Chain A
Amino acid sequence: MRAWSVIATATLVLGVLSGVAAYERATPPDDWNEIAWPFPRDGWPAGRAFHCSAASCGGDIEVYIRPKLGFCNCTSGVADDDEVDRVADVDLISERFVPISAGEAVRVADMPGRIRPYNLRLGDGTRAAIGIAVSHRCDLLVAAAQGRGDAIQVQRAALELLAKAEPARWMKSAMNTQ
């Protein structure tokens, strides 16, 4: 009987802990609402997607984040802008994207990589987008953002989201860096 009470207590504790974890995961960062991953299944499991309204971010902006484990050169990391073009999931939004300028170095969740702005051509016009690829060992973490504002505005909003504690914690956990 004592054994069953131990098991029941352990189950209750685990339930509470997983509930807390689920709440933490579901709690959106300020101004941002987590939304369902909007893309069809592809080679990598779905990641997390966030939306920020025009009222909060100056224009509707969405950010999509996910790890791509084993998809990076273990030695050189994210080497150049071509690699950002290839891996950063901007093609999920639209396969027709054109870089606005050269990319630049960036750090996200303490991982180094590159960020690059794009113009997207969609059925309803053009949109600004940002591609981000950072790496840890042989693994990539990528993020893509799109919005109706200009690219600078989208980039600033995306980086602010990625710098928040909860997404950063999730990214580090997903990349096994903590």
Chain B
Amino acid sequence: MKGSGKLALCVAIAFVGGADVYAQQQKIGAPPEASNMKLVGTNDLQARSAYQPTIHHQGDRWIAYIGHHGGTDGIPDPINPMTGKPEPNGTSIVDVTDPAHPKYLRHIPGQEGKYESGGAQMVRVCDGKDLPKGDRNAVYMLRTFGSEAHEIWNVADPANPALITRIGGLKDTHKSWWECNTGIAFLVSGAPDWRTRRMTQVYDLSDPAHPVKIRDFGLPGQEPGSTGAVPTELHGPISTGPSGNRVYFGYGTNKGGFLQIVDREKLLNGPKEPIAENLRYPEISRMPLSALNGAHTTFPMPEMPIAEFAHDKDGKTRDIVMIVDEAILNECGEARQMVWFADVTTETRPMMISSYTVPEASGSFCERGGRFGSHSSNESMAPVYYKKVAFIAFFNAGVRALDIRDPYHPKEVGYFIPSITPATDKRCVTIEGKDRCKVAIQTNNVETDERGYIYAVDRANTGLHILELTDEARASAGLP
């Protein structure tokens, strides 16, 4: 081949390569990408950036409560079509009894502010009949109010919620946990005098109208008056309640993360003054992740039977914690954030045993725009999926279904990448001082209900996608 021919070939290869990358860009009107999962229904959530969905079986109805981030630079306060007025992003309440036709019931505005500085990201729900001192006729929704407060609403009539109480005066909030059978809540807060943006405030919310603070909790070095290095901030805890007597705390976002295993009884009843010794008292162990990864979600799965170990004299069952990192930078501007499985059977010696990520090359995800990497998992412990199938929100790679029955070898069994819509917001990177923007789905959080439906919500304003498993993925969960 002559020189000019080689040059032409190089140009052609470069062009074809570029066209391939371009072909991976999502287009409005293009179908979703899916394997062993299918779309059942959608709702646009008034084009508000979404964080936590919580699905609650309420009488004979199924209601989805969905927390939102603050608005965007372009639209700080989107119009609520039900009122015709601009409202700061807050909480969407959607009737998903018929998942094929979800019905938007109400938007409760949140704190003014854009992105993570506003909105009402987090939401948990408990029935009054389950809480020790709750009103039996009430259904209580615990939500964050931007960065400054936690609120409890009575959502017994989900179309007409009523504010019950507010715990305010905070400098940040995030991914809290609420035990419905005890009322104990682990509220991710920013107490003003603590040296960290996010720590834990433990409350007794058994009577939601009268919150009782139990204590502040964090890592030694974060407490008021301490000096020196400040440990990584909290992202969120998950408690196994009085029966499990453990709280699993995830610290970090995309950096310097670790899992902390805490004795719940010692946390609630131990010495409470926030000094280093008292903060260390309830800690059983702490497992650091690589400095390149954080811990957004720490999802416990105690006493998992491991088929491979079935004939072993010891260790047939293992206590597993699934740890999900959060990607925060667009277009792979950081180390890969992914999913890790830790064997915590010997609690003082937890050990990472496996990991999972979406293969980047399977969709040229670093080129698509927006974030690529994990963010969170479902947190429902309903039998339909618990310890069998886990669902991971993976930003521009959509929702990923993992067969986790052998957590030493997790296996992807399905995925669903929703289509973008005209509401899907752009995501930009700065190159030589100028923004270069792309539009891509940004599946941020995922939750399941007891019926087996999967609820994925989008950070880039695309709304709610209700999904179900199909084909062999259903077999992983033992579904017909």
Contact = CB atoms under 8 A, between A and B. Distances in A.
Contacts of B228: 91, 95-98
A75 B3 contact: no
A42 B256 contact: yes
B373 to A, nearest CB: 12
Interface stretch (B17-25, B56-64, B100-108, B111-119): B111-119
B307 interface: no
B255 A3 contact: no
Interface string A144-158: 000000000000000
A101 interface: no
A13 B196 CA distance: 50
Contact of B255 (A2, A43, A75, A85): A43
A28 interface: no
B291 A99 contact: no
Given A75-B113, A97-B228, A97-B229, A43 B195 contact: no
Contacts of A42: 256, 291
A44 interface: yes
A96 B229 CA distance: 7
B201 to A, nearest CB: 17
B268 interface: no
B227 interface: yes
Given A70-B254, A74-B116, A2 B4 contact: yes
B255 A73 contact: no
Interface in A54-99: 69-71, 73-76, 82-83, 85-86, 91, 95-99
Q: How large is the interface on B (under 10, 10 to 19, 20 to 34, 35 or more residues)?
A: 20 to 34
Which label, helix, strand, loop or mixed, suits the secondary structure of the A interface? Answer: loop
Interface string B2-19: 011011000000000000
A32 B113 CA distance: 43
Contacts of B196: 82, 86
Contacts of A176: 430-433
A177 interface: yes
A14 interface: no
B4 A3 contact: yes
Given A3-B6, A91-B229, A69 B333 contact: yes
A177 B433 CA distance: 5
A1 interface: yes
B430 A4 contact: no
A98 B227 contact: yes
Nearest to B6: A3
A75 B292 CA distance: 25
Nearest to B329: A70
B3 A4 contact: yes
B229 A95 contact: yes
Interface string B312-340: 00000000000000001100011000000
B328 A70 contact: yes
Contacts of B292: 43
Given A3-B6, A42-B256, A73 B229 contact: no
Contacts of B113: 75
Interface in A1-41: 1-4, 7, 41
A177 B434 CA distance: 8
Nearest to A87: B230
B329 A73 contact: no
Contacts of A73: 116-117
Given A43-B291, A70-B334, 14 more contacts: A1-B3, A42-B256, A43-B256, A73-B116, A74-B114, A82-B195, A83-B197, A86-B197, A91-B230, A95-B229, A97-B227, A98-B228, A176-B432, A178-B432
Interface of A: 1-4, 7, 41-44, 69-71, 73-76, 82-83, 85-86, 91, 95-99, 137, 176-178
The 3 closest A-B pairs by CB, nearest first: A43-B255, A91-B229, A176-B430
20 contacts: A1-B3, A3-B4, A3-B6, A4-B3, A43-B291, A70-B333, A74-B114, A74-B115, A75-B117, A76-B117, A85-B195, A85-B230, A86-B233, A91-B228, A95-B228, A96-B227, A97-B229, A98-B228, A176-B433, A177-B433
